[in-house]
């Protein structure tokens, strides 16, 4: 499973999302909006953070811990 966080460098929600993914054991790649305009266009990023899984946007903005747990509950995402 390929997980990416797209966020602005100033996003105050990003550190929390990173912490929650780490606690769930989910590996992810961090992409900053300012450095990846082609990805912003590809995924139509309009909120920060945006969570992308296997090239599909699954959350625009900060999901709750419950939403993250429910999404990843049955997924094969651990290394």
Please state the domain extents for the chain.
3-72
pLDDT truncated to tens, each residue of the chain (79 aa)? 899 999 999 999 999 999 999 999 999 999 999 999 999 999 999 999 999 999 999 999 999 999 999 998 866 554 4
43 CB neighbour count, 10 Å cutoff: 18
- Cα(49)–Cα(7) distance, rounded to whole angstroms? 4
Nearest-angstrom CA–CA distance, 30 and 67: 20
Q: Which fold has domain 3-72?
A: Glutaredoxin (3.40.30)
* Residues listed for the chain: 79
Bridge partners, residue 4, by sequence: 29, 52
Say if residue 18 is exposed, middle or buried (CB neighbours under 10 Å; 0-12, 13-18, 19+): middle
């Amino acid at each position: 499973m390929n997980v990416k966080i797209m966020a602005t460098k100033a996003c105050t929600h990003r550190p929390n999302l990173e912490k929650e993914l780490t606690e769930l054991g989910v590996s992810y790649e961090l992409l900053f909006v300012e450095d990846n305009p082609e990805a912003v266009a590809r995924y139509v990023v309009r909120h920060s953070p945006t969570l992308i899984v296997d090239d599909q946007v699954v959350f625009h903005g900060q999901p709750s811990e419950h939403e993250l747990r429910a999404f990843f509950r049955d997924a094969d995402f651990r290394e």
